[in-house]
Amino acid sequence: MRVGRSAALVSFAELGGAEEEEEEEAEEVAAAAAGSDAARFVGAPLVYLLCVARTVRALQHLVGRGEGASGADKMADGELNVDSLITRLLEVRGCRPGKIVQMTEAEVRGLCIKSREIFLSQPILLELEAPLKICGDIHGQYTDLLRLFEYGGFPPEANYLFLGDYVDRGKQSLETICLLLAYKIKYPENFFLLRGNHECASINRIYGFYDEYLSTTLTFLFIGLSPDLQSMEQIRRIMRPTDVPDTGLLCDLLWSDPDKDVQGWGENDRGVSFTFGADVVSKFLNRHDLDLICRAHQVVEDGYEFFAKRQLVTLFSAPNYCGEFDNAGGMMSVDETLMCSFQILKPSEKKAKYQYGGLNSGRPVTPPRTANPPKKR
């Protein structure tokens, strides 16, 4: 697939919790770190990435508040040995799936502190040059994350953009998020993490990352569209860090979904935000002079799936999702000429519990944020 003209990719990224969170509330959002999804092409041979930095201060409360930490645990940023940590995280390649990587509290805290600084230091609008590898949901499937790197090349061999949903449901969320944060620290200008709706404490509690973190010793969006989004300047004006409200622009960018049976805007079965039809995608692209939206957030059979006459593509990078689906995992590559192609991680031969039934079907439902879905606009 060739992206029209010289192109650029736009993605909405890391949203953060407010700095004024109380300590108890910080514990509630302990596993939040960074991330998001959405992508588009247009303009010059650059990839444009909308970044709203995500604070990881709350994570630090879970790994140790400081006053109760030992001197050895009080690791200064400069003492974090990222290379050593990456080496240990990669040593499980070729081992049985699920092999645990030993990490200390101090190392996890160091990852949080340093990655937070990087996320907040980068502007809302980043300009990135192709080539670029783009990956969708991982959901704690660490072995499959390593497979993605084997396919696409381990950093810094390739530049990466991840669209969020790194944790929950899979059994190795801790290893997954730590490797991604370590690569972000090691290669801050070549490795980008966006926030998904599973990078939220309430979701983490329901789907396992919070419990996994507590039981061991430690997500980031899919850009949806919004009826409130009239100009990219609205996103540029977002103050960082910030919490995600139950309604409005920020909520929609994280939670809205495409729906082939809808024209315009419709109610979302998740109980939050909206669904949007192909006509909304076309109007949005035309209004902003774009060619493609790239998002994640939903299981798709072949690892990628087009919508709205190939104007939107959904990526999902966790094959055999939860061990219950027969889906493949996909990764989109954008080369120097802005040609787009897809690399596929095939599902295992093991019979899945469910067969893929298309977008908006089959996937375990992300819990609603609100009891009453918004009204159609």
> What structural domains does the chain harbor?
10-315 (3.60.21.10)
Find the distance separating the first CA and the last CA of the chain, reported in whole Å: 34
Q: Which residue has the tokens 């040609």?
A: 339
DSSP H or E stretch at residue 118: helix 105-121
Burial of 123 (0-12, 13-18, 19+ CB in 10 A): exposed
**Identity (one letter) of the amino acid at 265?**
W
Residues in the chain: 377
**DSSP, res 180:** H
* 155: preceding bond cis by omega (within 30 degrees): no
Comparing CA positions, the residue from 190, 243, 182, 213 lying closest to residue 54 is: 243
For Cα atoms 80, 85, 86, give the angle at the middle one, nearest 5 degrees.
125
Kindly report which listed range (23-27, 281-285, 343-347, 366-370) carries the lowest average pLDDT score. 23-27
pLDDT number for residue 175: 95
Is the pLDDT higher at 259 or at 31? 259
pLDDT tier at 240 (50, 70, 90 boundaries)? confident
Phi/psi for 316 (5° steps) reads: -140, 120
pLDDT, one tens digit per residue, over 166-207 is 887 778 998 999 999 999 999 999 999 885 544 444 444 444
Q: How far apart are CA 53 and CA 36, in angstroms?
A: 10
Higher pLDDT, 280 or 1: 280
Q: How far apart are CA 311 and CA 158, in angstroms?
A: 25
pTM to 2 decimal places = 0.71
Q: Which of 61, 139, 198, 297 is catalytic?
A: 198
pLDDT, the chain, mean = 73
Catalytic annotation present for 139: no
Q: What is the pLDDT of residues 220-238, one digit of tens each?
A: 224 679 999 998 888 878 7
pLDDT in tens, 56-94: 333 443 344 333 344 444 454 458 999 999 999 999 998
User: Rounded CA gap, 366 and 202, in Å?
Assistant: 11
Distance CA 134, CA 40 (A): 12
pLDDT score, position 322: 85
